Amino acid sequence: MEHLGTERICSGFSFPAGARVHPPAFPSAQARCHLPGMEVVGLLCAVAVAVLTWGFLRVRNSAERMRSPEQAGLPGAGSRALLVIAHPDDEAMFFAPTVLGLARLGQRVFLLCFSAGNYYSQGEIRKKELLQSCDVLGIPPSRVTIIDKSEFPDDPGVQWDTESVANTVLQHIEVNDISLGPAL
């Protein structure tokens, strides 16, 4: 703060002589008078938080990488997983990260799709798209099963029979020797 004649000047603002100047609780850049230490303290706090966060994340990530899939509670390499979806595109829209993660763990992924996705009369196109999508995700056509039965129509207004769905899933678990490990 400078004294010039009868006025005091504080960061560009002038006040009559004798006026009491109190900086606001949260001074702006224009209204800041004598708070140079606050800027340094704030900057040091921000740097400290960033360094501590980076260190914590680095230690946590390295600890997780050192654990084997079995230690993490996941089935090991060579296990077989079954992905069950209602219709084509669910594998990509909802489960692509899971499928890629299972492949990275060395698991063989099988896919069971309950309908051809024929709601808009595009079932044949949707089947081809499903097989192409699975190929990109690392699931070969030999491990993809598309059920195209009238009991499982691609229609949001129809509720499938729970027992039929369960029996179909169990059959695929047995036929494909799907690994049934501990619940995650």
pLDDT digits (tens, 9 = 90+) for 61-100: 665 665 665 555 556 678 999 999 999 999 999 999 999 9
Average pLDDT, the chain: 79
Whole-number pLDDT of residue 8? 47
Q: How many helices (H) and strands (E) does the chain have?
A: 5, 6
| pLDDT one-digit tens code per residue, 109-129 | 999 999 999 999 999 999 999
Fold of domain 80-175: Rossmann fold (3.40.50)
Residue 126's pLDDT is 96
Q: How far is C-alpha 35 from the geometric centre of its chain's CA atoms?
A: 43
Q: Which residue has the higher pLDDT, 78 or 16?
A: 78
Domain boundaries, the chain: 37-66, 80-175
Can you give the pLDDT at residue 85? 96
- How far apart are alpha carbons 100 and 121 in whole angstroms? 30
